[in-house]
Amino acid sequence: MKKKIFLKITIVMLLLIWVYSTIVNALSFTVTMTPSASVVPESTEFIVTIKVTNIEIGDENGISSLTGYLEYDSDIFEKITESSIEGMNSWTPKYEEDGDNRGKISLSKSTFVESEENVFNVTFKTKSDTNGEVGKIQFTNIVASNSANDTTASDISISVEVGNSGSSGNTANNAVISADLPSNNTSNNTSNETNNNVVNNIVPSYVNEAANSSEEDIPYTGVGNVVVYAIGIILVVAIVFYIKFQKINKDIK
């Protein structure tokens, strides 16, 4: 009798652990970090925007808080403070320094975010005498929460080069300038301005490794659906084990 009770308790515990791990694995979200320019001149400000997407962190609620550590190359960028951080879409930021080039950012919001949204901007400034250098900016230890669940995202980072923003587009500019255009100054100036705008607007977007490689190939599945599937599987497993129990009981008798 004791063996039977112990066996039943063990199976129930294993099933509960399996269901919990299934639900936890279903909770996820994606964070992106996008600079306003990938090449920035010396002593010039630029903005980095942090956004959340692909939010699956609850059956009904999205996220209402976000925390993480902002790290950057202090040899390349000026020191940032709380005034450098601007909350977006009613997110309220708080910044706590944790060294010369690192600080914890905590953000909260009175409502739940369930879809893609910009969360905050950080204004950086390149230092003088850094032309040709490349600085790294990271957002690490990322945690999103709501009233019931917490989940994490992988660390993300970007690299920003210090230099002339038009230097990487010389080939494109020369190709257009050498075309058959009117020789008056107004036309040339307009052409150069257009080329520079095109080059400067090519801004990379960096996504954390936890993001799905192809959103179109993977159907959206909420936590509620996962729980339903899990319950169905548990019922099937329970029936199988019940049949085995009956067999074991007969053998014992």
pLDDT of 199 strictly over 80: no
pLDDT at 222 over 50: no
| Structure tokens belonging to residue 251 | 């053998």
- pLDDT band with cut points at 50, 70 and 90 for residue 239: confident
The topology (CATH level 3) of 2-164+204-252 is Immunoglobulin-like (2.60.40)
Q: Would you state the structure tokens that stand for residue 14, as one six-digit string?
A: 């294993």
Q: Which phi and psi (to 5°) does residue 59 adopt?
A: -70, -40
Task: Report strand pairing: 85-87 vs 117-125.
Answer: antiparallel
pLDDT at 61: 75
Among 6-20, 38-52, 80-94, 205-219, the least confident range: 205-219
- Angle ∠(41,45,49) on CA atoms, nearest 5: 115
Domain ranges (residues) in the chain: 2-164+204-252
- pLDDT for res 129: 97
- Average pLDDT over the chain, rounded to whole? 74
Total residue length of the chain: 253
The pTM (predicted TM-score) of the whole model is: 0.59
Token pair for 149: 């669940």
Q: What is the pLDDT of residue 136?
A: 98
End-to-end CA distance of the chain: 11
State the pLDDT confidence band at 31, using cuts at 50, 70 and 90. Answer: very high
Q: What is the reported pLDDT for 57? A: 79
Q: What is the mean pLDDT of residues 167-189?
A: 38
Identify the pLDDT of residue 33: 97
Rounded Cα gap, residues 51 and 29, in angstroms: 11
The pLDDT of residue 147: 78
Per-residue model confidence (pLDDT) at position 6: 58
Mean pLDDT of 65-86: 97
